[in-house]
Structure 1
Amino acid sequence: MAVKYSQWTALLAMAKASLKAILRSPSAVVFSLGFPLVILLCFGFIGDSTVSVKVGVDSATDTHSYLYQQLLKEKSLKLVTDKTNAELQSELKKGHITAILKIKELPAVDNIPSNAVQVYTSTAAVEKIGVFNAILNGVIRNADAKYYSHASVAKLEPLITLPGRRYTTIDFILPGLLSFSLLSAAVFSTAFLFYGLRQTLVLKRFFATPIRRLHIVLGESLARLVFQISGAILIIAIGYFFFGFTLVNGWSTFFEMLILTALGVVVFMGFGFVVSGLANSESTIPLFANIITLPQFLLAGTFVSVDVFPTWLQYICRIMPLTYLNDAFRKVAFEGLHLWNLGLELGVIALWGVVIYAVAVRVFRWE
């Protein structure tokens, strides 16, 4: 009795073989996992460090004065004391330091310290001079409050603190990094894979077997889906355990992010199918793929919020599918929303999926 050919067994065999090929490909592993992890580690170690203001100290400054000692305690202020006055002026003109500080201690009156403060700045240092002035004035006000008691026009009631979560750099960066790694890996790997299979006549050999064309695509897609979800698990785990990435609802948030990952991979693979259908040679694949990925890398809120762009450019940003995947990841991870609360984001991503696969069907070539 003849054994009936199983399409699903063939599909799983193709997926297994394709997954092995992906894991054996250094470029696939580097660009899908290595590159995102390097960026994640860079931003993770940078963390949420405060603004640092670099200020030179004039050689005539009395470093034993009360005011200077208080400035040394300011964490956001870096005082440069190892350069000559001429070197400091050169650094100031180049914008490498924000100001040059000169403090002269005056005779104390009734044991209250007194200082004359002189600040030099330049037009090259306008970016942070306001921050330095705020720090300096704050230190002076604190000193005044300590040594000069006086009545106040108002009584400050105790500060009321409401519970909340701190939105850190990693909470913004990790979702954008994860989304873009899904986009770039899905587009490039799918495009190169099916173009290569077509050019080397491997697809033609598949057609000599009983496996259906749909199951060929599903098998290759399943391999990439497993690989990208595994990469997402690794990225999220490193962000959570090492850099404090917020998973507000714990495991449920984690699994919802994986569902969004799967949706993103499926939709973005459609772009890869389009590129493989349009490309006439292997050298044109990066050109088409970069036309799709680079604008979204720059404009879809991957590393910079869409809100910082001009209003007219934000309309373009709001067309891109990566923008909505970024928003969905951030709303789930930090805000605690669930998938059923993301009607707009999921709707736009799904709409892009319908459109791009309709185009892929028209341009995709088996031979």
Structure 2
Amino acid sequence: MTGTYSQAKAMLAITRGSLRATFRSPSAVIFSIAFPLIFILVFGFIGGGGKVSVNIAFASHTDTTNPVYQAIKNIAALHVVNKSDAEIKEDLEKGRLTAVINIEKSGLTNPPYKISLQSSGAVSPQNIQVLQSILNAVISGINQRAYPNIPTIAIINNNVQKIPGRIYRTIDFILPGQLGFSLLSSGVFGVAFLFFNLRQQLVLKRFYATPIRRSYIVLGEAISRVLFQMFTAIIIIGVGHFLFKFTLVHGLQTFLEIMLLSFVALILFMGFGFIVSSVAKNESTIPPFANLITLPQFLLAGTFFSIEAFPAWLQPLCKLLPLTHFNNAMRNIAFEGASLASCWRELGILGIWAVVIYAIAFKTFKWE
């Protein structure tokens, strides 16, 4: 007497076989693990300190009627942030601001103004030195033009007041981008080649001869891809954290939230792979189609540098890309201590992308 056929056992058998084949694939290991780790190692060794970024804010009670204030505001190298005191304090603690500048009258004829700086432990000392050099140059320029008869219009207090803050390292920016790079590459290239080859080699057709349902076939293959990529994510985060001090603010809780975010992003990226596998006529056309999806995101989604470096007209396009929102959410969770729920905007945009992409995938997917 024969037993009942188990769809779940058949699906798990497909998952095991596919997972074993994935680990044996050199291209899967190179694109998902090797390339991201190489970038992390390079940036980790050359970028132990924070990245140079001279963002400043003025104290709410600073004197705005003096020429020093106007000269500082007109310097292209300094980006002045206008926010509430609470937001400025938060940005200072997280290293988003180099310093808060306070210009006040000294009560003396010489010098008439005094400049004080407030920074935090999250800011690289190199950045503070750059800012002090810029301020000294501003003061010197004003003295030469308008105040030749007095020693100086202002002096800078060299005792920089510091508040506690986390140290922002280059790895805290680079690693989320590289994890996104790995997830996108695996989701698009991995799934596209996998299902195209399954059709070409008639593997899917052989599956039809068994009692297993079509949905379980796809699910089994998809689970193997997810397991492989989650294992890859653990390696990338572990190397970054233990070798280069990648910030996980709340430890294990932050790690688990990042893994859940990675799972959501991977499911979305796999949808792109299903589409590519269906529209490609032969194996040689898969890379061009896949690169049309992946390359713009690698370059424009804040993978290697902030999208603020792009021209203003290009930034709205950058903010539409799903990889941009994964990178932003991961950086907020890992370094700033945000919860996954507080990243609802990024998750919502990823969800919209997923609905659209899988609607297209269901329409285009081919079994033979």
Give the TM-score taking structure 2 as reference length: 0.71
Count of residues paired in the alignment: 277
Equivalence for 1:339: 340
The residue type paired with residue 311 of structure 2 is P
Q: Which secondary structure does the structure 2 equivalent of 1:203 belong to?
A: helix
* Counterpart-to-counterpart distance in 1, 2:343 and 2:50: 33
Offset of residue 215 of structure 1 = 0.8
Q: Does 1:363 align with 2:357?
A: no
Q: Does 1:303 align with 2:277?
A: no
Distance 1:4 1:177, change over 3 A: same
* Counterpart-to-counterpart distance in 2, 1:358 and 1:164: 45
Matches within 5 A, 1:97-116: none
- Deviations 1:8-57 (Å, cap 9, x if unpaired)? 111111111000001111111111111111111111111245899xxxxx
* Counterpart-to-counterpart distance in 1, 2:179 and 2:51: 27
Matches within 5 A, 1:36-55: 36-48=36-48
The residue type paired with residue 39 of structure 2 is I
| Contact 2:50/2:169 (<8 A) preserved | no
Offset of residue 350 of structure 1 = 1.0
| Contact 2:23/2:29 (<8 A) preserved | yes
Equivalence for 2:245: 244
| Contact 2:32/2:182 (<8 A) preserved | yes
Which has the greater radius of gyration?
Answer: 1
Q: Does 1:167 align with 2:168?
A: yes
* Counterpart-to-counterpart distance in 2, 1:49 and 1:246: 13
Q: CA RMSD in A?
A: 2.6
Offset of residue 268 of structure 1 = 0.4
* Counterpart-to-counterpart distance in 1, 2:336 and 2:49: 23
Q: Which secondary structure does the structure 2 equivalent of 1:4 belong to?
A: coil
* Counterpart-to-counterpart distance in 2, 1:282 and 1:159: 61
* Counterpart-to-counterpart distance in 2, 1:322 and 1:51: 22
Distance 1:275 1:51, change over 3 A: closer
Equivalence for 2:10: 10
* Counterpart-to-counterpart distance in 2, 1:343 and 1:175: 18
Matches within 5 A, 1:112-131: none
Distance 1:11 1:306, change over 3 A: same
Offset of residue 276 of structure 1 = 0.4
The residue type paired with residue 328 of structure 2 is D
Equivalence for 2:208: 207
Offset of residue 160 of structure 1 = 3.1
- Deviations 1:87-124 (Å, cap 9, x if unpaired)? xxxxxxxxxxxxxxxxxxxxxxxxxxxxxxxxxxxxxx
Q: Which secondary structure does the structure 1 equivalent of 2:240 belong to?
A: helix
* Counterpart-to-counterpart distance in 2, 1:39 and 1:155: 40
Q: Which secondary structure does the structure 1 equivalent of 2:298 belong to?
A: helix
Q: Which secondary structure does the structure 2 equivalent of 1:311 belong to?
A: coil
- Deviations 1:64-101 (Å, cap 9, x if unpaired)? xxxxxxxxxxxxxxxxxxxxxxxxxxxxxxxxxxxxxx
Structure 1 unaligned blocks of 5 or more:
53-130, 142-149
Equivalence for 2:109: none
- Deviations 1:108-146 (Å, cap 9, x if unpaired)? xxxxxxxxxxxxxxxxxxxxxxx7x959x99xx9xxxxx
Equivalence for 2:322: 321
| Contact 2:272/2:357 (<8 A) preserved | yes
The residue type paired with residue 344 of structure 2 is G
Structure 2 unaligned blocks of 5 or more:
53-129, 141-150
Equivalence for 1:125: none
The residue type paired with residue 321 of structure 2 is M
Distance 1:288 1:155, change over 3 A: closer
Equivalence for 1:288: 289
Distance 1:256 1:2, change over 3 A: same
Equivalence for 2:272: 271
Q: Does 1:186 align with 2:183?
A: no
Distance 1:217 1:153, change over 3 A: closer
Offset of residue 161 of structure 1 = 2.0
* Counterpart-to-counterpart distance in 1, 2:51 and 2:337: 29
* Counterpart-to-counterpart distance in 1, 2:156 and 2:346: 48
Distance 1:305 1:2, change over 3 A: same
Matches within 5 A, 1:3-152: 3-48=3-48, 134=133
* Counterpart-to-counterpart distance in 2, 1:42 and 1:276: 33
Q: Which secondary structure does the structure 1 equivalent of 2:32 belong to?
A: helix
* Counterpart-to-counterpart distance in 1, 2:254 and 2:51: 32
- Deviations 1:292-318 (Å, cap 9, x if unpaired)? 000000001111111111122111111
Give the TM-score taking structure 1 as reference length: 0.71
Distance 1:201 1:161, change over 3 A: same
Q: Which secondary structure does the structure 2 equivalent of 1:161 belong to?
A: strand
- Structure 1 window deviating more from structure 2 (203-212 vs 282-291): it is 203-212
